Amino acid sequence: MSNERQNPLSPLDIPVEDLQRCHDVLGLISWRVLAGQRIFVTGGTGFVGKWLLATLLDADEKLGLNCHVTVLSRDPCAFLRDWPTMAERVTWVTGDVRDFPIGTDRFDVIVHAATDVAAHASPEDVFSTCLDGTRRVLSLARQCGARQLLLVSSGAVYGPLPKGMTHVAETYLGGPDPLLGSSAYGEGKRVSEWLAVQAAGDGLQVKIARVFALVGAHLPLDKHFAIGNFLRAAMNGEEILIKGDGTPYRSYLYAADMAGWLWAVLLKGEAGRAYNVGSEESLSIAALADRICGVISRPCRVVVQEQAPADAAPTHYVPNVSRAQLELGLPMPLMLNEAIARTARWHAKQVSACQHEA
C-alpha cells in the first residue's frame, strides 16, 4: 500500500492543515494568476519540490485553475510507485537537469528547484548540477517562450557570516571561500543566480528565492540534516549525538510556510530581485536537540562530541526576512515548537502505516 492511498485527497500525503496553511500564507486568491498556465518544474520529487507540487495541485483542484504541470525527474517510475495518482495529474519528463531533452512544448512558468543537497555527490558534481542544470533550464526558457522563472537558490550564497552578524539580509555581499571543496553548493547557486538574471529580458522575468534550513513532512531523517537526525533519534528513544560543539546558530522554517513563501516570490516578487526564505527564530544546535526532546516529550540523552574553544564566537546561518515580509505581505511563520510537533506527527504516521502494512 502506498502512502498516497492513506489519504487520496491530499496530494503527496501532505496534511490538509498544512495545505491550508500554505494557502493562508500566500492568499488563496493569489493562485488565480496561474489559471490555464503551463508550468514546468525541476526538482519536483525532492523535499522542496514535493511541497511545491502538492500545494500547486491542491490549489488547482480547489480553484479549478486548469493548470498543466510538467515535472522533470531522473526516475519518474520510482516516484510513481509511491504516488501513482501523480501519473494522472502530472506530465513527466525523464532526464538529468543538465541534459534533459527539450521538446517543442510551450511553458508559461518555470520553477527551477533542482539540486538535491541530500545526495552523496562530489563537489564537482554538485557544482556541475547547479551550473549546467541552470544553463539547460535557461535554454528551455528561451525555446519555450516562458514568461516567468522562479530560481530556488540557497542562503549558502552568503558564505560564513562575519563576527557579530546574527541575521543576514539580501544586501550582504559576502560569499563562500572559493578554495574549499565544501563551497561547491554555495558557489554553484551564486553562478546560477548570475546566469538566470543575465538571461532575463525578452519577456522572461526571473525571481530568486534564497532558502535557508527547513523542517516538515518529507524531510529525510537519515541524511545530513541535523534537525532530521535529531528527530529520528528522539522518536526512537536513542541518544542524540552532536558531532560538533553544538554552538552554531540555525533557524528552521516550516515547509508549509516555505511553500507559501516560494509561490509568493514567483507570483508577487520583483523581477531580478532575491528574497530570503527562512525563519528568524534562531537557536544553537545544542538548544535545538533539547527543544526536540521537550516538544515530543521523550526522555533524551544529548551528547555533544566536542567542546567549544573558550574564545570562539558562535557561527550563524539565519536570515533576515524583512524584505520578503514587507514586500510580499507575508505573515509571521509557524513557531518552531509547532513545526517540530507537526513534523514528528507526520513521520510517526508514516512509520505506523508501514508497520500496519507489514
**Where residue 153 sits, what CATH number does that domain have?**
3.40.50.720
Q: How confident is the model at residue 5 (pLDDT cuts 50, 70, 90)?
A: very low
- Give the angle subtended at the CA of 330 by the CAs of 163 and 346, to the nearest 5°: 85
356 pLDDT more than 90: no
pLDDT at residue number 163: 92
Determine how many CB atoms are found less than 10 A away from the CB of residue 236: 11
Total domain count for the chain? 1
State percent of the chain over pLDDT 90: 87
Residue 333 Cα distances to 64, 66, 149, angstroms: 27, 29, 25
The CB-side HSE value for 106 (13 A sphere, CA atoms) comes to 5
Average pLDDT over the chain reads: 93
Domain with 203, as residue range(s), is 3-215+252-281+317-335
* Grid cell in block for residue 336: 518552531
Least confident of 66-75, 180-189, 308-317, 339-348: 308-317
Helices (H), the chain: 16-26, 47-63, 76-82, 86-89, 123-144, 184-199, 226-235, 255-268, 285-296, 322-328, 336-357
59 pLDDT more than 60: yes
* Grid cell in block for residue 315: 557561527
- In the three-class reduction of DSSP (H, G, I as helix; E, B as strand; rest coil), residue 322 is classed as helix
**Average pLDDT in the 306-331 region?**
94
**Average pLDDT in the 199-227 region?**
93
318 pLDDT more than 70: yes
Alpha-carbon gap, residue 351 to 357, rounded angstroms: 10
**Average pLDDT in the 139-153 region?**
97
352 pLDDT more than 80: no
110 is a domain residue: yes
176 is a domain residue: yes
**Average pLDDT in the 296-307 region?**
89
* Grid cell in block for residue 342: 507537526
180 is a domain residue: yes
pLDDT at residue number 155: 97
255 pLDDT more than 70: yes
Alpha-carbon gap, residue 74 to 94, rounded angstroms: 5
139 is a domain residue: yes
Alpha-carbon gap, residue 154 to 167, rounded angstroms: 15
229 is a domain residue: no
321 is a domain residue: yes
238 is a domain residue: no
- Give the angle subtended at the CA of 102 by the CAs of 98 and 108, to the nearest 5°: 105
Cβ neighbours of residue 81 closer than 8 Å, sequence gap 6 or more:
2
230 is a domain residue: no
Q: How confident is the model at residue 9 (pLDDT cuts 50, 70, 90)?
A: low
* Grid cell in block for residue 325: 515580509
Q: How confident is the model at residue 202 (pLDDT cuts 50, 70, 90)?
A: confident
* Grid cell in block for residue 16: 490538509
* Grid cell in block for residue 270: 520583483
Cβ neighbours of residue 221 closer than 8 Å, sequence gap 6 or more:
228, 229, 231, 232, 347
